[in-house]
Structure 1
């Protein structure tokens, strides 16, 4: 069993990379929350292990196969791990490839993931790849 917030997050991200839904679900607290930013087609707040399953279903419907390379794992506050990711995928709806940075703050409490907050370095570019054209850089 991993110990320390960074080790717990690394183990959980490994489950995400392997598409190990049971491992992902086992790593999240019952009150887990993931916040995906607007303007993405799967934007919203998802709660609990079932919420994560709903999120990943919508995410995969938007992007299909994807590659995410983690570059940085750093505990930036007690129990809060910053994960810097380079994300590569092709949007299912448009066939448009996308590559960009994502920063995720993952909160850990009692050895479980309690919250994930995701920020895209280029949310307008990600939205455009997905076919969402009603956003602007000024939004």
Structure 2
């Protein structure tokens, strides 16, 4: 890209890479001040969070200690205007249970002017839940 401007997919890929590295500053820098972040109800981090501070407090500050190993395989991106649908696979070992898991997920991102204004996370596998609860044994 000759302008040096990041695409919406570039922004999303950068966030996934920052999550793997535990780079909270890079994640925060990509979020709009009015971001809406939705995690599945019933899950450990379930809820709707508004603004980068709520996202960090309720999700990322806790998430780092939960996993002994964690990786996000970026499988496919579908773009429609400001919307990026990311089909990804979360892989890792849950620290407390020791359970290894691999679970497909779908994330819907809305990126405007290089900043995330909305995120919705969809969990697609019971393996993710089982790794957290020891039910996978």
Same fold (TM over 0.5): yes
Deviation at 1:33? 1.8
Is 2:132 the counterpart of 1:130?
A: yes
| Map of 1:137 onto structure 2 | none
Unaligned 5+ segments in structure 1 are: 134-139
| Map of 2:98 onto structure 1 | 95
Deviation at 1:72? 0.9
Change (3 A) 1:93 1:83: same
3-state SS of paired residue (1:106): strand
How far apart, CA to CA, are the structure 2 residues paired with 1:47 and 1:114?
A: 10
Counterpart pick for 1:57 among 43, 61, 70:
61
Unaligned 5+ segments in structure 2 are: none
Spell out, residue by residue over 1:78-124, the C-alpha distance to the aligned partner (whole angstroms, 9 max, x if none). Answer: 101011111112222322111111111111122211111111111x3
Verify the 8 A CA contact 1:40 1:130 in the aligned structure 2: no
Runs of 4+ in structure 1 deviating by more than 6 angstroms, as ranges, are none
Is 2:30 the counterpart of 1:24?
A: no
| TM-score (ref. length: structure 1) | 0.81
Change (3 A) 1:99 1:83: same
Verify the 8 A CA contact 2:40 2:46 in the aligned structure 1: yes
Is 2:93 the counterpart of 1:111?
A: no
Verify the 8 A CA contact 1:107 1:113 in the aligned structure 2: yes
| TM-score (ref. length: structure 2) | 0.82
Q: How many equivalent pairs are there?
A: 131
Counterpart pick for 2:49 among 43, 46, 51:
46
| Map of 2:11 onto structure 1 | 8
3-state SS of paired residue (2:22): coil
Deviation at 1:64? 3.9
Verify the 8 A CA contact 1:40 1:132 in the aligned structure 2: no
3-state SS of paired residue (2:133): coil
| Map of 1:136 onto structure 2 | none
How far apart, CA to CA, are the structure 1 residues paired with 2:134 and 2:51?
A: 27
